Homo-oligomer: A and B are copies of this chain.
Amino acid sequence: MKNRKTQIVDLALQLIREKGYVAISYDDLSKQLGVTKASIHYHFEKKEDLGLALMGKVQENLEQFLKLIKSSVMTVEEKLMLYFERQYAPLSSDEICPISSLQSDFASLPDVIRVKVQELSEFEIKVITTILTDEQGTKPANQSKDIEAVVYTVLSCLKGALQYKRALGKDVLSLVQTQINRLVKS
């Protein structure tokens, strides 16, 4: 059943946003899907396989978004807003960004996963850099000498906002968005 496989990955993705890679257990997954642990092991022999599959999905998602903004005519601000709305705003109040979840577990990750976390982190950096560089956009590119610094700042803000949102139950996301806009507009 191909459907079961994607079902597993989707659930794992949700759990990674909620609890992180290490805290995901085959027991969790199997109970929530109404199958046995062995059944999950059939689809993903080792936990690392599941981890890689799940991160592949995150990457695909980012790649699609990158294509979208490369082929559409929007201002830098519009693209950035679209990124917020697509990638961060939809997350529920007990979820954080899957990439920052993986980054947090960094010290406990097996090597293959760790490498993939680096790849994913860098890919997201690339997406935001592309947005701020605004190659096809209608507005002149950001004038700041240090786009790199702005990129890391933007992503750190978004990821941090989700952490605070979950821990304190406050809508920190919209707060930091105002500050991100100030930085980008300069």
CB-defined interface of A167-186 with B at 8 Å, one 1/0 digit per residue?
11000100110111011001
Partner-binding segment picked from A70-78, A83-91, A103-111, A129-137: A103-111
CA distance A149 to B160 in the complex (A): 12
Which residues of chain B are near A100, meaning CB under 8 Å? 104, 160, 163
Majority-rule SS of A interface residues:
helix
Given A167-B117, A182-B186, the answer on whether A175 and B157 have CB atoms closer than 8 Å is: no
Of listed A148, A156, A175, A178, residue having the most chain B CB within 10 A? A156
Tell me whether B176 and A152 are in contact (CB under 8 A): yes
Which residues of chain B are near A163, meaning CB under 8 Å? 100, 103-104, 106, 156, 159
A20 to chain B, nearest CB (A): 7
Tell me whether A152 and B160 are in contact (CB under 8 A): yes
Which residues of chain B are near A22, meaning CB under 8 Å? 22-23
- Confirm or deny: A47 has a beta carbon within 8 angstroms of a beta carbon on chain B: no
Which residues of chain B are near A182, meaning CB under 8 Å? 183, 186
Tell me whether A121 and B168 are in contact (CB under 8 A): yes
Residue of B nearest to A146 (CB): B178
Q: A23-B108, A146-B175, A152-B176 are in contact. List 15 more A-B contacts (CB 8 A).
A: A19-B108, A20-B104, A22-B22, A104-B163, A106-B167, A117-B167, A121-B167, A146-B178, A149-B178, A149-B179, A155-B164, A156-B158, A156-B160, A182-B183, A182-B186
